[in-house]
């Protein structure tokens, strides 16, 4: 053996290089990557809010034989392999596949969130100014406000009438629908605006949605454009202005998920964060039958605003579900609940920032994720000295690594940003507080929190493969 060769061998044995996942696909996997991408785009087109995603998830679960939580409680006993969905107020849902082992022995959970940064309508949104009808908004989650102007927008959500009827509103997605729009200033008159910092050029109170221009025909009334719009909404949905005060209406970019690149390798869509991990977890959990440990797909709301509220991870919802299921197995004590969580292992499925050649300075290239190099493990998130981070245990990380290697999951490991550059958080710490082993593990992406975000199809597929391997 020559010196050069032995050096190469040594390098192969001792060094670690994260390579393109596209190069590491097995025979026939390229087709699967692309067909998986099609299924994902379909999921994204039908689920542009957390509520719509929950509806989709439950429909898919039911088709696979899942029964509702209420039905399971009514049956009064649990059998191994039983599949149960627990819906939480239409905005979050947990899918359980009961294991052969008792629940006290722990679960395998993949948790992801369904909410995404967007604009919400205020309680009194409709007004008229300058011969135009507009809607006031309050943004949800971390957005860059300037990205939301001068693009086609759609309205999704629910309105509840005085008689209690709930109306599902979707306007702007069908090709024949109108869309909505937030104006920006023409460059000719924007010298003051352009001199401002980017974060100040467009204000939160300036994100007002255009919805009409034609005045109501009766010239005797005031605010005729507003009245005309209310009249049209009343004809279409039977709602009044007061119904807006009790509505949940979300503004999202109009249109479908699209392939990006001449090679169709990537997807641009609204809400990849975190529906990409949600979809990967969903597809993985739906393939699980009769596992040893109980398997859970956990799909949450409110992550983007701190996991608060009764549909976020901080709520007692999931603990209560587990307590109820334990009770069906004859364990009613707090100790059983504690044991169930202490023995649980979790992949916190959330996206992470990939290296962006347009902005190379915000990441440490040696510890960054790259689009196209597979699912990303993130040991710790947090800001300024890992503050607020879950910081996964080495023993659990090592276990996850072996699962991935044994199942030919192409993975990488990275940090969200350079030290002291900024950072982020996920739901990881919450389940860790219960004693579970948790690590963040999800899809790398570009343009996170932009109206349209970007992922690579191969990373989506590897995320699914990773979750499936973890469950098995
Ligand atoms: Mn996220
Ligand atoms: Mn986010």
Q: Domain ranges in the chain?
A: 18-116+270-471, 118-253
Number of C-beta neighbours around residue 304 at 10 A: 20
Give the integer Cα–Cα distance in Å for 237 and 231. Answer: 10
How much distance in Å is there from the Cα of 85 to the middle of ligand 1? 22
Q: Look at residues 375, 391, 322, 369 and name the one whose alpha carbon lies nearest to residue 109.
A: 322
282 C-alpha to ligand 1 centroid (Å) = 16
- List alpha helices for 238-316, DSSP H: 241-244, 272-286
Distance 111 CA to ligand 2 centre (A): 14
Number of Cβ within 10 Å of residue 157's Cβ equals 20
The pLDDT of 190-197, averaged and rounded, is: 97
What residues does 126 pair with on adjacent strands? Answer: 135
C-alpha 303 – ligand 2 centre gap (Å): 7
Average pLDDT over residues 70-89: 96
CA distance 423 to 411: 21
| pLDDT at 358 exceeding the cut of 60 | yes
pLDDT at 385: 86
Q: Cβ distance 355 to 363 under 8 Å?
A: yes
Give the mean pLDDT of 242-248: 98
Residue 51 banded pLDDT, cuts 50, 70, 90: very high
pLDDT of residue 2: 54
The tokens for 188 are 């000719």
Q: What is the pLDDT of residue 183?
A: 98
Do 18-116+270-471 and 118-253 share a fold?
A: no
Checking if the pLDDT of 1 tops 60, the result is no
Look at the alpha carbons of 354, 357, 362, 366 in this order and tell me if their dihedral is positive or negative: positive
Distance CA 60, CA 43 (A): 10
* Mean pLDDT computed over every residue of the chain: 96
Note the ligand closest to the C-alpha atom of 278: 1
> How remote is the CA of residue 351 from the centroid of ligand 1, in Å?
6
- Is the pLDDT at 16 greater than 80, yes or no? yes
pLDDT of residue 418: 87
- The ligand placed nearest to the CA atom of residue 453 is 2
Find the 143 Cα to ligand 2 centroid distance in Å: 9
Q: How far away, in angstroms, is 38 Cα from ligand 1 center?
A: 22
Residue 418, judged by CB atoms within 10 A of its CB (0-12, 13-18, 19+), counts as middle
Dist. CA 304 → ligand 1 center (Å): 7
**Average of per-residue pLDDT across 96-103:** 98
pLDDT of residue 452 exceeding 80: yes
Tokens found for residue 466: 């990773």
Exposed, middle or buried: residue 120 (CB in 10 Å: 0-12, 13-18, 19+)? middle
Instruction: Give tens-digit pLDDT for 374-394.
Output: 999 999 988 888 888 889 999
Q: Report CA(413)–ligand 2 centroid distance (Å).
A: 19
What per-residue confidence (pLDDT) applies to 424?
A: 81
CA of 285 to the centre of ligand 1 (A): 20
Is residue 137 over pLDDT 60?
yes
Structurally, at CATH architecture level, domain 18-116+270-471 sits in: 3-Layer(aba) Sandwich (3.40)
User: Which ligand has the nearest atom to the CA of 275?
Assistant: 1
Write the pLDDT tens digit of every residue in 261-275. Answer: 999 999 999 999 999
- At residue 123, the pLDDT reads 97
Q: What is the pLDDT of residues 435-444, one digit of tens each?
A: 999 999 999 9
**Is the pLDDT reported for residue 277 higher than 90?**
yes
Q: Which ligand is nearest to the CA of 112?
A: 1
Q: How many CB atoms lie within 10 A of CB 119?
A: 27
Average pLDDT, stretch 77-83? 95
The alpha carbon of 435 and the centre of ligand 1 are apart by a number of angstroms equal to 22
Q: Give the model's confidence band at 153: pLDDT under 50 very low, under 70 low, under 90 confident, else very high.
A: very high
Question: 156 C-alpha vs ligand 1 centroid, how far in Å?
Answer: 20
Question: Looking at domain 118-253, does it have CATH number 3.40.50.12280?
Answer: no
Ligand 2: centre distance to CA 308 (Å):
14
How high is the pLDDT of residue 383? 85
* Percent of the chain at pLDDT exceeding 90: 93
Coil, helix or strand at residue 82 = coil
Bond from prior residue into 236 cis (ω within 30 degrees of 0): no
The pLDDT confidence band at residue 421, using thresholds 50, 70 and 90, is: confident
Number of neighbours of residue 336 by Cβ within 10 angstroms? 19
- From the list 164, 156, 161, 159, the residue with the least C-alpha distance to 140 is 156
């Amino acid at each position: 053996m020559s010196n050069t060769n032995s050096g190469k061998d040594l390098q192969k044995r001792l060094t670690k290089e994260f390579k393109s996942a596209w190069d590491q696909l097995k025979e026939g996997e390229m087709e699967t990557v692309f067909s998986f991408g099609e299924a994902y785009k379909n999921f994204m087109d039908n689920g542009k809010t957390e509520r719509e995603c929950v509806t989709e998830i439950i429909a898919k679960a039911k088709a696979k034989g899942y029964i509702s939580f209420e039905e399971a409680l009514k049956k009064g006993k649990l059998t191994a392999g039983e599949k149960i969905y627990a819906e939480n107020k239409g905005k979050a849902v947990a899918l359980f596949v009961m294991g052969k082992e008792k629940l006290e022995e722990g679960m395998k959970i993949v948790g992801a969130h369904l909410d995404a940064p967007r604009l919400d309508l205020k309680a009194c949104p409709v007004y008229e100014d300058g011969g135009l009808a507009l809607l006031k908004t309050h943004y949800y989650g971390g957005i860059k406000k300037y990205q939301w102007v001068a693009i086609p927008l759609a309205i999704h959500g629910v309105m509840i009438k005085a008689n209690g009827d709930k109306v599902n509103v979707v306007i702007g997605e069908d090709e024949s629908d109108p869309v909505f729009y937030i104006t920006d200033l023409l460059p000719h008159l924007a010298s003051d605006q352009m001199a401002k910092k980017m974060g100040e050029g467009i204000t939160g109170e300036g994100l007002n949605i255009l919805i009409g221009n034609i005045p109501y025909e009766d010239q005797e009334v005031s605010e005729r454009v507003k009245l005309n719009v209310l009249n049209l909404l009343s004809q279409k949905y039977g709602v009044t202005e007061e119904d807006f005060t009790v509505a949940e209406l979300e503004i999202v970019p109009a249109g479908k998920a699209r392939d990006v690149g001449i090679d169709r390798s990537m997807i641009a869509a609204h809400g990849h964060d975190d529906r990409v991990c949600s979809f990967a977890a969903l597809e993985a959990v739906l393939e699980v039958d009769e596992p040893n440990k109980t398997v859970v797909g956990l799909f949450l709301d409110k992550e983007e605003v701190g996991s608060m509220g009764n549909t976020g991870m901080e709520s007692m919802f999931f603990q209560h579900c587990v307590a109820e299921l334990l009770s069906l197995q004859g364990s009613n004590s707090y100790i059983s609940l504690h044991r169930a969580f202490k023995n649980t292992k979790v992949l916190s499925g959330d996206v992470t920032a990939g290296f962006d050649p347009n902005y190379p300075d915000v990441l440490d290239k040696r510890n960054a994720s790259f689009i196209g190099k597979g699912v990303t493990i993130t040991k710790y998130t947090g800001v300024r000295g890992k503050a607020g981070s879950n910081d996964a245990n080495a023993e659990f990380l090592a276990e996850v690594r072996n699962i991935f290697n044994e199942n030919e999951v192409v993975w990488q490991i990275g940090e969200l940003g350079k030290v002291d550059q900024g950072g982020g958080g996920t739901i990881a710490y919450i389940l860790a507080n219960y004693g579970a082993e948790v690590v963040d593990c999800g899809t790398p992406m570009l343009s996170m929190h932009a109206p349209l975000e970007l992922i690579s199809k191969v990373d989506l597929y590897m995320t699914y493969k990773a979750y499936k391997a973890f469950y098995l």
